[in-house]
Amino acid sequence: MTQAPTHVTDCPLDRVRPPDSSTRSIGPVIAVDLGTTNCRVAAIQGFNPVCIPAERSEGSPSVVALGPGGRILTGHPARGQQAANPALAVWGIKGLMSAPYGDKKVKWLYDQLRCKVVKGDDGFPAVVLGDRTFPARELAALLLIEARERAQNFLRQPVHRVVLTQPPTRKDDPLNQLMAAAAALAGMHVERTISEPTAVALGAFGKHKGKPERTAMVCDWGGGRFQASLVRYAARQCQVLGTEGNVALCGAELDKRVLDLLMRKLPTGVKLAGDANNPAALYRVAGAAEYAKIQLSTQTETRVRVPFAVMVGNQVGDFDVTLSRAELDGLAKPLIDAGLKMCEQIMSQKSMFPGDVDEVLLVGEQCRMPLFQQRVKEFFVGAPAYLDEPGPSVVLSAARLGSSTSTPPPSGPVKR
Ligand code: ADP
Ligand code: MG
């Protein structure tokens, strides 16, 4: 293992200045969905919102890490560092901002992180990377800086204004202040904050046949949380009638369960290479476990092969096991059932039943799992369930809503 850097030599936070009032209504408005797993950014091109791709994917991993030479990394390079040196990387940043330090609500997340988490100056978690302590809002700012740069490169003009999406919260929820502080640290004015289920519902309006005022259950199953929200919406308005979220039912929890099963499938006498001080092999297998889970949304069986990740006696060998969709379904079922139980509780608080819901809107990439879609259909007897771009739908809709309420950018063609 390479020697861990101890000194932060280069951090983007030191280069970005807070926004000043002269840029309050200048330039394009971008939308950012800073998800627990992926950070997506969208802007309006012509009349349509587009999701601005990251280096190798539609979103950039929501990971911050301390890289070689003491550089602070975000996105794909940070994810690479997480695999090599998990103690120097932090993910789940939005989860860290959702509750004060030590709150039991996010205990699940604390248990997964390998980096040092301490109480920050604002009472929320902070993470120690080398000789610097980053409060959660600074970690979020680092991801927003990357999102802003991605948008500026794509649009070829400076970006000063952002629409942020976040889970449904009360007005006085500290997450609102933390996100606003993060946006300011990233050099942007917050144009508007839109709750995720509202963005999904308003984005879906008009796409599917139905009455003008509808009741929908928005099931958001992402990597960091299962969030269910009951909404009533029409063309331009959306009211969240009730919402519940649980971090412990997230996609990453399913990955953990897949990893455990894969390890149990190793033949006797075969051990994972490395140890607690050198967990790189474990992290490579964990990455392969998540990939296998994703593959099983379209295949019924997959082979998980990770070169040089095990020891057979004194010999290095390949990790090589198969996993079937039926096995994955067995692991996922308790999580899905608990998620649907949450939907039931929200409805019962409004004296409603699954049959009262006009439709179910599925969002979050984990919803691509066939078993989930099947269970949703069974549970919401007869209500259609729509899975429409479950990854970027939140940010695309937020970009559209943001552009319709903000000051229009100066006229003239968008430079590309
Ligand atoms: P977040 O809102 O946390 O950023 P996303 O909506 O991007 O999350 O979803 C990420 C989660 O979805 C990860 O756990 C990932 O493994 C999972 N995922 C991605 N693609 C698929 C797929 N095709 N089938 C099942 N799960 C998937
Ligand atoms: Mg999300």
Q: Indicate the residue type of 307.
A: P
Q: Indicate the residue type of 115.
A: C
Query: What pTM was estimated for this model as a whole?
Result: 0.94
The pLDDT assigned to 405 comes to 61
Q: What is the mean pLDDT of residues 41-64?
A: 93
- The SS3 assignment for 265 reads coil
The pLDDT assigned to 411 comes to 36
- CA 291 to CA 54: how far, in whole Å? 19
CA of 38, closest atom in ligand 1: 4
pLDDT digits (tens, 9 = 90+) for 238-287: 999 999 999 999 999 999 999 999 999 999 999 999 887 778 889 899 99
Q: Which ligand is nearest to the CA of 224?
A: 1
Q: Is 223 in the pocket of ligand 1 (CB under 6 A)?
A: yes
pLDDT digits (tens, 9 = 90+) for 188-227: 999 999 999 999 999 998 787 778 899 999 999 999 999 9
Q: Is 290 in the pocket of ligand 1 (CB under 6 A)?
A: yes
Q: Which ligand is nearest to the CA of 200?
A: 2
Q: What is the mean pLDDT of residues 104-109?
A: 90
pLDDT at 413 over 50: no
The pLDDT assigned to 2 comes to 56
Please give the helix or strand (H or E) that residue 407 lies within, else none.
Answer: none
Q: Is 70 in the pocket of ligand 1 (CB under 6 A)?
A: no
Least confident of 1-15, 49-63, 87-101, 314-328: 1-15
**28 alpha carbon – ligand 2 mean position (Å):** 23
**378 alpha carbon – ligand 2 mean position (Å):** 24
**Structural domains for the chain:** 12-194 (3.30.420.40), 210-386 (3.30.420.40)
Give the strands of the sheet with 359-363, arranged side by side: 238-246, 226-233, 214-221, 359-363, 385-387
